[in-house]
């Protein structure tokens, strides 16, 4: 961003820590030292029965992290991606290693993207990819479904998500080791279904990385 652009942005959004929202001096990093110290190491694991091998996330999705993410997704703070991206890249490097043929991402539907003005997951993938030397490629399309929020149980969510995605161009994924990016991991049902269709389209393996993971 240019000098003038940065000054205008600081007028609209006074410089605050992206996580705790504390006002910062102009020279301080947007992730304040106190937050950087308590957030700790990235997290990872494997889920039994999922179609992906492993998952990793930069942070747990709780408290100030959750509030921060809401400002990013709904509150006009899309520039948070510049801070989130390197955190996500660090989680990928430390927990998964970078040995992928392709980076892709969970899509949002076109209507939602128009309303929100941006695709929060693609932007995260781009910023993490900048650090890792990977460019996110669109491989998945989303079918129109009833909203997930109306669905209650984990089993119901898993059933409802079945068939939510398709791969328009299987040649893009065939034989590839894929890094699949999502914004927040909750039950893992969405990324597991996306991994299933990527594998069905010929992908060799899928790992998942997200900015944050809900405690489960
Ligand atoms: Zn902070």
Sheet with 43-45, strands from edge to edge, namely 43-45, 55-60, 205-213, 177-185, 102-105
Instruction: Tell me, in angstroms, the distance from the centre of ligand 1 to residue 69's CA.
Output: 13
Instruction: Tell me, in angstroms, the distance from the centre of ligand 1 to residue 19's CA.
Output: 5
Instruction: Tell me, in angstroms, the distance from the centre of ligand 1 to residue 211's CA.
Output: 17
Tokens 């309303």 sit on residue: 115
Instruction: Tell me, in angstroms, the distance from the centre of ligand 1 to residue 63's CA.
Output: 12
**pLDDT 10s per residue in the chain (216 long)?**
567 877 776 677 788 999 999 999 888 889 999 999 888 889 999 988 899 999 999 999 999 999 999 999 999 899 999 999 999 999 999 999 988 999 999 998 888 888 888 999 999 999 999 999 999 999 999 887 665 555 567 677 667 788 899 999 999 999 999 999 999 999 899 999 999 999 999 999 999 999 999 965
Instruction: Tell me, in angstroms, the distance from the centre of ligand 1 to residue 64's CA.
Output: 9
Q: What span, in angstroms and rounded, lies between the C-alpha atoms of 41 and 19?
A: 15
For 82, the token pair is 């510049």
Instruction: Tell me, in angstroms, the distance from the centre of ligand 1 to residue 25's CA.
Output: 12
| Confidence at residue 151, expressed as pLDDT on a 0 to 100 scale | 55
Instruction: Tell me, in angstroms, the distance from the centre of ligand 1 to residue 119's CA.
Output: 25
Domain map (residue ranges) of the chain: 1-39, 41-213
Instruction: Tell me, in angstroms, the distance from the centre of ligand 1 to residue 126's CA.
Output: 24
Instruction: Tell me, in angstroms, the distance from the centre of ligand 1 to residue 152's CA.
Output: 34
| Confidence at residue 125, expressed as pLDDT on a 0 to 100 scale | 98
Residue 35's Cβ-count burial label (10 Å; 0-12, 13-18, 19+) is buried
| Confidence at residue 1, expressed as pLDDT on a 0 to 100 scale | 52
Q: What span, in angstroms and rounded, lies between the C-alpha atoms of 158 and 148?
A: 10
Instruction: Tell me, in angstroms, the distance from the centre of ligand 1 to residue 136's CA.
Output: 29
Closest CA to 182 of 158, 206, 163, 159: 206
Number of neighbouring beta carbons within 10 Å of residue 212: 24
Q: What span, in angstroms and rounded, lies between the C-alpha atoms of 79 and 30?
A: 10
CATH code of the region 41-213: 3.40.50
């Amino acid at each position: 961003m240019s000098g003038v652009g940065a000054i205008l942005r600081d007028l609209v959004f006074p410089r605050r820590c992206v996580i705790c929202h504390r006002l910062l001096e102009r020279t301080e990093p947007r992730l304040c030292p106190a937050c950087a110290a308590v957030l700790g190491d990235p997290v990872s694991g494997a889920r039994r029965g999922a179609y992906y091998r492993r998952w990793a996330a930069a942070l747990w999705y709780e408290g100030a992290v959750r509030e921060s993410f809401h400002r990013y997704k709904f509150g006009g703070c899309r520039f948070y991606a510049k801070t989130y991206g390197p955190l996500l890249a660090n989680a990928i490097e430390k927990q998964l290693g970078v040995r992928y043929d392709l980076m892709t991402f969970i899509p949002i539907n076109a209507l939602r993207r128009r309303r929100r003005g941006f695709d929060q997951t693609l932007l995260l993938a781009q910023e993490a990819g900048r650090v890792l030397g990977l460019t996110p490629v669109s491989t998945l399309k989303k079918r129109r479904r009833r909203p997930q929020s109306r669905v209650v149980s984990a089993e119901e969510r898993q059933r409802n998500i079945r068939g939510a995605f398709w791969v328009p161009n299987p040649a893009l994924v065939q034989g590839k080791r894929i890094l699949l990016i999502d914004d927040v991991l909750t039950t893992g049902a969405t990324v597991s279904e996306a991994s299933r269709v990527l594998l069905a389209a010929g992908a060799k393996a899928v790992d998942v990385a997200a900015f944050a993971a809900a405690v489960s």
